[in-house]
Amino acid sequence: MTKPLVQAVPEPSPALPDAKAAEPSGLSPADADRYSRQILFRGIGRHGQHRLARSHVAIVGCGATGAAAASMLGRAGIGALTLIDRDFVEPSNLQRQMLFDEGDARLALPKAEAARRKIGLFNSAVSLHAHVVDLVPGNLHDLLGPADVILDGTDNFETRYLLNDYAVQQAKPWIYAAAIGAYAATMNILPAPAAGATVAWQPTACLACLFPDPPSGPVETCDTAGILATAVNLAASLQVTETLKLLTGQPETMRRSLLSIDLWPSLPGSSLSRSEINAASPDPVCQVCGHRNFSHLAGTARPHITLCGRNSVQIHEHHRPIDLPTLRNRLAAHPEVEDLRSNDLLLRFRRGPHTLVLFPDGRALIQGTTDPSLARSLYARFIGS
């Protein structure tokens, strides 16, 4: 990830009309007690808590940042959470992914499902929707349509640019967040409305305004640079705080910059470094929000993706359902298959140095390689071409 340079940030735009004033403040006695400390905070109050209970947030990626954000929003009393993640819990996740435990890793539970179960234990009033899928152009309208705001918990820029296309097209706010090493970054994207429509905010720059193209060349990942749980939780805390401002009807208080904080800078005597890039206004020549060219949204295929934190390739075989019990029975007799395990949500086995994880929609994670050709060969050999 390229760290932004410091630039001056202009004064915030004039406040929009306070949407909270017209809202009812009816809360049950149980909710008034449960959220009493949050209600006492003047930025939320009873009106804001009522609005949160009627809000719907989608979180794309339930790994480190996404799991932390989901936990905080569930505890804050959000009405509904859509949890989207293509991966499963492993022991190496437990250092920083706060919702999960050793039992989840032992069962290799998909992260979206594990997050749903955990949040349901501490707030059963939240409506929880878990989707063990990869977000692609063919499914994001159905998955993200009901949400009031989208939170980025992903580990790759391909999905972030897809989210940016969708959010700008639909005039739906989304909040970028990232963490690597001791570095955390976040940015609010408040899109302009379509012609003739209105929104409750002054539009900001979109992701493509600041970064027209995804990073090229080697990009640091958790696997190469490591990651501190403190950086993860900082990014998630900033992201969730901005979400609460938006959902309680106060978009005028939201930050209008790309903020980055390094908690462990290399310069001696400095405890942290902070920088911002101005994102207060859309770039009129931006290909996405200026010219409305949604090239990522228009894509019909996705390349193999090397995932954060492991040496692996993802293979997409959507619309090709797999009968996991039948496949398990077939693989159980294969002499090269070891450590065969399955549940209702995935099937996992080892073959030599490689581990294959298969999901019911035909998608697979091939661990132990970054070679797409080898991954495809293993998929064809053990699952079918």
The per-residue pLDDT for 13 is 35
Average pLDDT, the chain: 87
- The residue that leads in pLDDT, 61 or 20, is 61
199 burial via Cβ count (<10 Å: 0-12, 13-18, 19+): middle
Q: Which spans in 248-314 are helix H? A: 295-298
Phi, psi of 16 (to 5 degrees): -80, 165
Distance in angstroms (rounded) separating the CA atoms of residues 275 and 264: 14
Q: 41 — phi, psi (to 5°)?
A: -70, 125
- pLDDT of 250 > 90? The answer is yes
Give the range with max mean pLDDT: 28-42, 216-230, 300-314, 337-351.
28-42
pTM for the predicted model, two decimal places:
0.81
Q: What is the mean pLDDT of residues 88-99?
A: 92
Q: Do the beta carbons of residue 257 and residue 127 sit within 8 Å?
A: no
Going by pLDDT thresholds of 50, 70 and 90, the confidence category of residue 361 is: confident
Instruction: Reply yes or no on whether the pLDDT at 385 is more than 70.
Output: no
The string of pLDDT tens digits covering residues 317-352 is 655 678 899 889 989 988 889 999 998 889 999 999
Domains and CATH numbers, the chain: 19-298 (3.40.50.720), 311-382 (3.30.310)
The pair of three-digit structure tokens given for residue 1, joined into one six-digit string = 């990830």
Chain segment 185-208, per-residue pLDDT in tens: 999 999 999 777 888 999 999 999
Contacts of 356 (CB under 8 A, 6+ apart): 348, 349, 350, 364, 365, 366, 367, 378, 379, 382, 383
Please say whether the beta carbons of 287 and 293 come within 8 A: yes
State yes or no: pLDDT of 20 exceeds 50.
Answer: no
When pLDDT is cut at 50, 70 and 90, the band that residue 376 belongs to is confident
As a whole number of Å, the end-to-end CA separation of the chain is: 36
Q: What is the pLDDT of residue 303?
A: 56
